[in-house]
Structure 1
Amino acid sequence: MSSSRWDDLMPRLISAVTMVAIGLLTIWLGGVWFHALTVLICAVMVWELVCMLDSKRSKSSLVLAVVAGSALALAIEVPVAFALPLIMVPSMVGLGRMERGGVTYAVFTAAIMLAGYGLMGLRDDFGLTWMAWLVIVVVVTDVAGYFAGRLIGGPKFWPRVSPKKTWSGTAAGWVGAALVGLAFATLTPAGPGLMGISIAVAMASQIGDIAESAIKRRTGVKDSSNLIPGHGGLLDRFDGMLGAALFIVIVGQMVGLPTGTP
């Protein structure tokens, strides 16, 4: 077994433990604390996105990050009918400022904003239990995929876009998500169907990861930024949560979730 497979394990582990600790604390506190962290993460992701797509727009990246953070902070405080146009404001403002990658920026920024809004709504409306479920599914999907991919290896999932991802790691993520769903189905009134929803959330998380990888491949960058040792940028770390949150925004309207712990 080559040690190079595990060269990034320690910095990834330290960064992951730190992020998980901060995340769990703010999720538990909820309210303004969770809103503030979500707004900050989404604003930084927009900054990273602009820097990746159009490196000449360094000043615009900061402006658009502030616009995104301000719009999202206001959106969660107003009725949904008025929140929706606020969510779209950063996409519209930035579209004309980009020299290249404008459409990708607009679509991906709208996804970031909607995911952030959905996460805050999930915590506010459904409580700690279901926010914790979503986070654990995404984390377990990522961790299971990381270790299975390196221990088992095998055929690549999509080598042209993400050369390190394997089918073994992808499938391991589904298994891990199913086990999380089974655990929460046992502990809550959700029922065994939560296992299927958890697997679908894992798939959405993996699609979010692949979508960000495709942008990096197209723009020729390794990481969205270097903010997090071993993980790159926030967009690198939260791309899976982005896909999962968007999925829950849609699926929550169809299947609903039982009310959890406030």
Structure 2
Amino acid sequence: MTTRVEQIADIINRDRQAFNSWASNPSNRQRLDLPIEGLRYFIPPRVYDFAQDPVQVRLIEWYRNRDTANFLIAEARDYPLSDLELLERFKIGRRLKIGRRLLQHDFHLPEGLDFFHCEYPGEVFQGRISPYDFIFHQIFLEAYPHGNLHVVSYTDRPELRRKGIGVSFYARLREIALSLGFRFITGEVNQKGKQDGNYTFYTKKLGRRRFDKLPRRISELLRDRADDIDPSSVLTVECLYNEDLLL
């Protein structure tokens, strides 16, 4: 009988083989339009530790082309996570700019509503997300010039933060970025994150550098991306090759 550890290892190995098969083609360098089997390799290993049934972990694809990958990582549970009647009321409140404000201030959702279902109520009612979907992540990536893999957005479940899932995702992202020939991983972090730990996660835990602390020859390559971010945010950068950090 296959153990849970063996089951997870088999799933990850299958996804790795699908990714490597696609990434080994030179014409796929710095492209994000992977087939869904290869895209599954973005699922961080730590997710499986929190899954009730690793076999039910899947991707819900929002959008994908050569330069963009936008998807959710979810597990189909055997019970609904949101009451649809309550969710409909929340959706109406959100139209009145109530629901969104509650989420932005880490409002504790009432029993019967799931965090991600409240983020995407329209998609639940359209059937793109099931009330049974336990969503671990929302991930939006874009490929930019000069080998820059930019994380447009990364959202995880509040109750699973500080449990290693974020570190697991970014370790996997680094592996994938190197395999696809990227040179940098960048992301926009709001300055207020200095108070809530988000900023230090990227600069201390992941070892990223602020854009304004990079060697000039590197910052010039990324200036277009830095100029596009919100004034209240800072661009953090991981140089995947040590020589890019030399002054």
TM-score range, shorter chain: under 0.3
Bigger relative CO (Cα 8 Å, ≥ 6 apart)? 1
Greater strand proportion: 2
Asked which structure has the greater CA Rg, the reply is 2
What's the TM-score, normalizing by structure 1? 0.27
